[in-house]
Amino acid sequence: MENSLKIIMSERGKELSVVSSHKYRFIRKRKDELLKWICYNKSCYASILTDVKKTQVIAVIGDHKHEAITPQNIDLQVLRKNCKRKASDSISTRPSKIIRKELLTNVGTDIVHKDISSVRKAMYMARQKNFPIHLKSFDEAIDKIWEMQNDDIFKFTNKKCIYIPMNKSFICITTEDNLNFMSSCTEYFSDCTFQFAPNFFMQMYTFHCFKNGFYLPVIFIFLKDKFKQTYIEMWKFIKELYLQHTSQTLNLCKLHIDFEIGAHEAVREVFPNVQLIGCRFHLNQSWWRNINSIKIEDSILG
């Protein structure tokens, strides 16, 4: 039918009627219960009247002064709108999966590859609107996480897993199960990495337990510096957190640690009876740095 009516949604979520390859936006409901729609092109004054159920075109008023829209463009708009909505509702679903499902169920097959790329880009932009604003400093980052630390999005198996001290100096990631597991271990390993620290943080400190021949990560902490006082606050916080969740006092018997003096002094201040054991990996790294600094020849090394 030449005047068949189809309702689609605009990019702003408003209803549009499509008649004879022209789009119309809703204007008002008349006294005779008919709905008036005017051409989507702002320089065109052609309009239509439809019944209140939006199923039938009653009258077409005026002529269009521009070319009609191709069916491909209409299908593309429907595809983009549906994909953007589903991308926002389900942020974990891959855009390609959403697009593929929409192509199979709702639109024609004349969508070209470049159109798919534009739809995928629109989906990512729609998802970004649901994300927190881009943070510009350490204080902004820590304050934002402080506000959200008890939100469901930051929970693991419906339990809190992000902890921040009152002075907001670092971020601790662990679970109640991990802390309880630590009570069954006697040998612990700590290490830091600078490569995988997020923005505004200097290092990521990790803690592992050795159990039944396996090294299991239990705590991750993001630190903004490597001062001795920061390490002291970190160990005191872990000790207090462990007490809260296990009702036991954390007693470190053996701790494998790198050769940073500040880290050694800090852990000994919080756990005076701990036995510190060096790490072969870090020892080899220290040897290698020293060998390179004094430029020992390969022939001497053998």
Residue 1 pLDDT: 42
Closest Cα partner for 29 from 47, 50, 46, 4?
Answer: 50
Residue 116 pLDDT: 82
- pLDDT tens profile 278-301: 877 777 877 888 878 887 666 565
Q: Write a three-state SS string for 274-294.
A: CEEEECHHHHHHHHHHHHHHH
CA–CA separation, 29 and 52 (whole Å): 8
Q: For the chain, which residues make up each domain, given as ranges? A: 5-61, 71-128, 138-293
CA–CA separation, 68 and 84 (whole Å): 25
CA–CA separation, 256 and 186 (whole Å): 11
- As averages over each run of 10 residues, the pLDDT of the chain (302 residues) reads 74 83 90 91 90 89 86 80 85 85 71 78 84 81 86 83 92 94 90 86 93 92 94 96 93 88 93 88 78 71 57
Class of the CATH-defined domain 138-293: alpha beta
Cα of first residue to Cα of last residue in the chain, in angstroms, is 90
Q: Is 49 exposed, middle or buried (0-12, 13-18, 19+ CB in 10 A)?
A: middle
Residue 279 pLDDT: 76
Give the count of beta carbons closer than 10 Å to the beta carbon of residue 267. 20
CA–CA separation, 87 and 201 (whole Å): 31
Residue 275 pLDDT: 92
DSSP the chain: -TT-EEEEE-TTS-EEEEETTEEEEEEEE-TTSPEEEEESSTT---EEEE-TTS--EEEEES--SSPPPPHHHHHHHHHHHHHHHHHHH-TTS-HHHHHHHHHHHTS-S---HHHHHHHHHHHHHHHHTTSPPPP-SHHHHHHHHHHHTTSGGGEETTEE-EE--TT--EEEE--HHHHHHHTT-SEEEEEEESTTPPTT-SEEEEEEEEETTEEEEEEEEEES---HHHHHHHHHHHHHHHHHHHSS----SEEEE-S-HHHHHHHHHH-TT-EEEE-HHHHHHHHHHHHHHHT--HHHH-
- pLDDT tens profile 66-82: 888 887 787 788 888 88
Residue 131 pLDDT: 75
Contact assessment for residue 251 and residue 239, using Cβ atoms and an 8 Å cutoff: no
Residue 8 pLDDT: 84
Residue 155 pLDDT: 83
Task: Provide the residue count of the chain.
Answer: 302
Residue 170 pLDDT: 94
Name every residue whose Cβ is closer than 8 Å to that of residue 2 and which is 6 or more positions away in sequence.
Answer: 20
Give the count of beta carbons closer than 10 Å to the beta carbon of residue 297. 6
